[in-house]
Structure 1
């Protein structure tokens, strides 16, 4: 896990802005979070009309508590999912490619910031990281990009709005046996894909499991940084050299516990160290990627807002032969992976 400075990817943001005739600009977390607030500010009937459950796909609004896939936890949040939009002459095909479903009340400017500019920056960061990982693992920055080109068509962004415990109590959710479920923002899980990139406000809540203990990530999003986790696919590809961390998200109402956690930064054991590619610009890490969980400038009382981008390989991705020639080729199917579980834990 590590931070990436979006300043190195300002061209991706600016080119999208110029294509829309809105003038060059650069990535600003504050602008992104403002658009998230506008997205979730649409009327409830539109959230229902453009909900994933009603539309029968993966794009659109994710209802309050609808991602509670764990039998142990109620996930105290609502969400929205969008993905690739630059289809041109090659429209969506297959189960994992879809048109986005934006509600009418979302201002056009907010939609363009999220769908075009933010998605473009996330994609640029993901592609640069894949080149860096390819260089580390194969000695050639083109091996992985050449093997996985086209993954942007199925890569998705999920926008989340986490609520404090007061909201949950007002909307009371119980399990089948009528006992109240334990509550979290997101239950413990790993991400099954390639890379996960996160932009958010500065309300702490994201926690990584380090040597059996939960450590709260110190928010640095107001510095226009993006947080990166490796997914299961990258961990498998690298034989554990790049770790897919177990993580969870606390609800804002639980943050007193997070803020009280003054443990030092967590580093994985040396034999499983997650190596940050030297080619990638990253933020100063005096306190490491994980710290004391103190809230920052972009916080909003009673809520936490985040955009989680899942960067995937092509749906029929093939793991290239190891650089040393040992082992055999392995195949990984995104479609097969998704079919194993009806509910994605993220």
Structure 2
């Protein structure tokens, strides 16, 4: 049996109300039970995915001194390159065994937000890198918009409830390289157990073992997607906003068996964030006598800032 349920976005965007509602029911149930789904029918075509992986591998293959040119001080790692072992999970001392890049929002007609977000960093050595990154960012953002519309219906909200909050949102596309492991890691793993900060995360590259999710009994389960699927999970912002009705799942990336230590792993999550002014206050419809309001009022920007400090990316 497949542990992580599989859904097809074509059902949601079809003109058939029955198929659409089935998609809403399936995804709503999955997020209330396990917190992860595998999604087919997204807007990334195979050609774009292939180009993105090629560019990402080209970037991480550059000499370390070239990559470090793109590590920008003072922005909490929100754009450009973040070198190996810089980030650790909340409460962990050991840095994760990874290096990564951040593409951020391409703001449209909003000078205020343009001033708020750091600029994207252009890699001079790879003329296609930023172009392909932007195209993938847009397609993942479009996919995420429809997933959030389905969740809005599931929560008895107006279907387009999230649209204005995510337009020009502070979302991040993060290509990650987990390099070959050269010696027995003491405590570090490729990515220690953590919950994501944002509304939802769309993950490319979850084919093959490595990603594990924790179920409600505390057991770790392999989450493996088919080649045409992306994994999507709920983040802490959405969990807070829905009073934990939709659950942010703890997940991790474990080190491979010893015979595969010599191989690199690449994965590309898209972290869907709203604009920083969005109030994450618990929705009235998610509060009742049995589940009283569990969280203080906070904005997305305040919550993100708190978490970046906890992760060691901001002072």
Pick the TM interval, shorter chain. Answer: 0.7 to 0.9
TM-score, length of structure 1 as denominator length:
0.68
- The number of residues matched between the two structures is 270
Structure 2 residue runs of 5 or longer lacking an equivalent are: 1-35
Find 1:3's aligned residue among 38, 47, 51. 38
Partner of 1:317: 278
* 1:62 is aligned to 2:96: no
* 1:334 is aligned to 2:304: no
TM-score, length of structure 2 as denominator length:
0.74
2: CA distance between counterparts of 1:302 and 1:324? 45
1: CA distance between counterparts of 2:174 and 2:253? 14
Per-residue CA deviations over 1:220-279 (Å, capped at 9, x if unaligned) read 2x32x21100011222222323211011112335687xxxxxxxxxxxxxxxxxxxxxxx
Partner of 2:57: 37
2: CA distance between counterparts of 1:325 and 1:54? 39
2: CA distance between counterparts of 1:91 and 1:73? 37
Q: Secondary structure at the match of 1:75?
A: coil
Q: Tell me if structure 2 keeps the 8 A contact 1:76–1:251.
A: no
Compared CA separation, residues 49 and 92, structure 1 to 2 (3 A) = farther
Q: Shift in Å at residue 345 of structure 1? A: 7.6
Across the aligned residues of Structure 1 and Structure 2, the Cα RMSD in angstroms comes to 3.1
Q: Secondary structure at the match of 1:165?
A: coil
Q: Shift in Å at residue 316 of structure 1? A: 1.4
* Map 1:43-192 → 2, pairs under 5 A: 43-53=63-73, 58-69=78-89, 70-87=91-108, 90=111, 92-93=113-114, 95=116, 97-106=117-126, 108-115=127-134, 117-146=135-164, 148-150=165-167, 152-166=168-182, 181-192=186-197
Higher relative contact order (CA 8 A, sep 6+): 1
2: CA distance between counterparts of 1:227 and 1:255? 26
Structure 1 residue runs of 5 or longer lacking an equivalent are: 11-24, 170-179, 257-299
* Map 1:217-296 → 2, pairs under 5 A: 217-220=223-226, 222-223=227-228, 225-253=229-257
Moved more, 32-41 or 51-60: 51-60
